[in-house]
Every structure is written in structure tokens, then in C-alpha cells.
């Protein structure tokens, strides 16, 4: 069982992980149903991106205040990945709303779910 959140940064990360998991499941459901990608899925992805950007800014602020992560280089790598993966994935399917484009969203959302978990693991 994961430890309880200790700080506001922990709380944002936990919310991001949970929401990213929901977006992953939603994208997977759309992919399995083989229907065109709905606009609501795009909206969900961009809300997740905003959440991850907030998490990244808060994380950077914490680091600038002198709270260094246990695995610094890995943590910064995950921090960059957490905000870059979704925009790149959405750009790659920007002019395609076919069923398989939701598969790309599924992969990207699953990736940021894992990245958000790893962010927390490399923090302390």
C-alpha cells in the first residue's frame, strides 16, 4: 500500500496518478469499441496535461527551495517526460480521429501514469 501523502506536492501527484489512470481506461474503452475519437477524450487529456504542468512547476519550486530528490537526474528526466509526452502524442494524431488514434492516446496516458508514479518514487 502506498504511503499517505505528506505534502501538497504528494497530494497533486496522487491526484495526477489517479486521473491519468482514468484517462487511460477511457482511451482504452474508446479504442476497444472501435469508434472515432470523441472530443471529450481530447479535453480529458488536456486537463491531465494542465495537472501535470502544475505538478512539474510545484516540483521545480520545491527543488529550487533546496529540497533535492533522492535520484536527481532520474527525477528531472521524469519531470520533463511528464509534461512532454501528451502534447507530442496529441500532435501526432491531430488530423486523425480514427479508432486507432485513441490507441495512441491510451499508450501516452499509460506512460504518464507510470511516469507520475516514478516521479513520486524518485522524490524520496
For position 46 contacting other proteins by CB under 8 A, the verdict is no
| 49, 86 contact by CB (below 8 A) | yes
User: Of all residues in the chain, what percent are helix, strand and coil, respectively (each to 5)?
Assistant: 75, 0, 25
For position 83 contacting other proteins by CB under 8 A, the verdict is no
Q: Which of 45, 108, 116, 117 binds other proteins (CB under 8 A)?
A: 108
Q: Which of 106, 113, 116, 123 binds other proteins (CB under 8 A)?
A: 106
For position 21 contacting other proteins by CB under 8 A, the verdict is no
Site residues, other proteins (CB under 8 A): 73-74, 77, 81, 85, 88-89, 92-93, 96, 98-101, 103-104, 106-108, 111
Amino acid at each position: 500500500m502506498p504511503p499517505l501523502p505528506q505534502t501538497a506536492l504528494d497530494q497533486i501527484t496522487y491526484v495526477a496518478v489517479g486521473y491519468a489512470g482514468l484517462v487511460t481506461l477511457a482511451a482504452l474503452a474508446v479504442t476497444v469499441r472501435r469508434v472515432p475519437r470523441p472530443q471529450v477524450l481530447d479535453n480529458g487529456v488536456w486537463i491531465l496535461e494542465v495537472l501535470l504542468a502544475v505538478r512539474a512547476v510545484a516540483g521545480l519550486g520545491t527543488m529550487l527551495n533546496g529540497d533535492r530528490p533522492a535520484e536527481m537526474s532520474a527525477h528531472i528526466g521524469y519531470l520533463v517526460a511528464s509534461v512532454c509526452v501528451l502534447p507530442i502524442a496529441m500532435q501526432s494524431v491531430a488530423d486523425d480521429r480514427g479508432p486507432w488514434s485513441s490507441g495512441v492516446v491510451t499508450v501516452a496516458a499509460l506512460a504518464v501514469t507510470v511516469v507520475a508514479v516514478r516521479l513520486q518514487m524518485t522524490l524520496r
